[in-house]
Chain A
Amino acid sequence: MRVLRAAFEPIGRSTLALLEYLGGLALLLWDGVWWMVVGPLRGKGRIRREESFFQMRRLGIDSLGIVALVIFFVGVILAFQMAYVLKTLGVTEYVANITGVAMTREMAPLLVAMVMTGFSGAAITAEIGTMVVSEEVLALETSALNPVRFLVVPRVLASMVIMPFVSLVATYIGIAGGFFVGNALLGIEAEKYLSRTLDSLKYKDIFTGLVKAEAFGVLVALIACHEGFHVTGGAEGVGRATTNAVVRSIVAIIVCDALFTAFFYYFL
């Protein structure tokens, strides 16, 4: 009995902690959606448009360079790895099909989400966490300015708008990376490579990629905000929360990605 208890108690406790965490996230999401839709309609407080645009620029434009760099090389890697197998089958030109589909459905949204996590997720947590520590959030609250409307809505909204866009751009650049390998190094003719890419892509591939990007965008911003609001214990707490935000976002993105991928595989 004691052994059983020793074995299961930690599991039970961490399950509870996980559920509590997910509950907290869901609550924040609900609050965010409320202040995005219901609140403005009822005249409780408008969406801060300028701040949202500012966040979009910060999230999107600023991260685009790194995203482009990373995804180009992912395209290169993907093409080489595919060619390694496909060559033995004598169908090297299929590199184009596979790179195109994998980029669109999977690699672009996933890698953009990863870059965003390190890039803007961490920044959001640090920013909000610092505001909590310096009593700025308390000042907002006591001035009848809801912190969710004020801080969460612009960031989640920006992430929702920017992520599919960046993901789409990343898809092109990733395919360009694959094209570079396929055309310049493996000797697949340009026209053939491009027509193969286009032929193998269906609208639903683009659609599923965008759905993923959208979901990841919400996740990254939401988790970052959540961690920021729960900072305790000064500057040190901000550092801890930032690490937490990145780690938790990555786990959440991967799990979410697996669920989406399975769903799309069977039902779409």
Chain B
Amino acid sequence: MSFFVDSVIMFTSQVFFFGFGWLFFMRQLFKDYEIRQYVVQVVFSITFAFSCTMFELIIFEILGALSSTSRYFHWKLNLYVILLVLIFVVPFYIGYFVVSNIRLLQRQKLLFACMVWFTFMYFFWKLGDPFPILSPKHGILSIEQLISRVGVIGVTLMALLSGFGAVNCPYTYMSYFLRNVTESDILALERRLLQTMDMIVSKKKRIAMTRRQIFQRGEDQNKQTGFWGMIKSVTSSPSGSENLSQIQQEVDALEELSRQLFLETVDLQATKERIEYSTTFQGKYFNFLGYFFSIYCVWKIFMATINIVFDRVGKTDPVTRGIEITVNYLGIQFDVKFWSQHISFILVGIIIVTSIRGLLITLTKFFYAISSSKSSNVIVLVLAQIMGMYFVSSVLLMRMSMPLEYRTIVTEVLGELQFNFYHRWFDVIFLVSALSSILFLYLAHKQAPEKHMGL
């Protein structure tokens, strides 16, 4: 009986998540495009729904809601479905839509889509070889094999995003890094842009008029016969067309210049707006947060380095450690069991919500930046794939943040994965990503003021 009730609860929450994913797709991602293939929307919402259900199950685990057998059952079910979607459904549809965009292969769409899918499976399988992720006891098609590979990809993604985010966040928030941009700088650039456009226009007018004259002269030539006609056609030099190609080259160079000027102006405008924003109350708040985050970021990089250098994987989670410290060193006595449950619930809840929100925002920005009306379907599916893998591996990594008694279900369900490997891998990639982001931002920051000096 209770199993039935639990299943109903799970099902309703899944429908709710599905609806949220559907709305997000329609309102945010596809707000400038027409949705013609509903399959894409369905697949995206399903991926989102099942990923969120996994997080929900972790929360239920901590809170002790639902009976433990039904939790276990739903975990397994959820995991199978999500693996099915991530490994079979989404890659197949990606292949299908890519193939339908290429005109040559229109006939045998299904066949080529299957071929693409097989190639994907081959590389996906090969991915597992260099990593020591499994104990060699398991067979080929077990759930551990699939999860381990999905986990590697997802953890790499997470670490890359975290590394970049940890560095970029203080850089964007803090107004210390804002270059000083005045209104006259922007006006000067705009004036240059308009002047360049005018030069382009005048050269194009010359080209158009020269072409028209050549065309008219050509028509006249066809009418000219006789001796003088032949002489004239010999002496009328092709200097018109030589001139044309030279002017055309100048136009091409000017057009490139105008594009660069446009981009620089946009950049300056954005900086000016950020400067204005930083004087507001909200801006000041974010500026303060930026200092806070930069300290946090430095600490994380430091910890990652320590972990790698000393080959250390944290044994206890932050919640238990925090409680230990308060109880032992600060002498505050309180009900450990009760508080550890609630604190880990809050902590895990915050981690889940911020990672979902952060991922959705990043995906949206990314989608706006690179999609066009032809490729929107493919890109959305790729994003759904990334999202699914990201969420699966955050479950893997979250195991570290939970006290021992809540870790059991994750360990049980996901089988005998070498969890320590994933943490080590995360630290390595995080470090690499954070350091290269620092380098990249430093170079970009250095380069920009020099460009404007040339005005």
Whether chain B is bound by chain A comes out as no
B residues neighboring A (CB under 8 Å): none
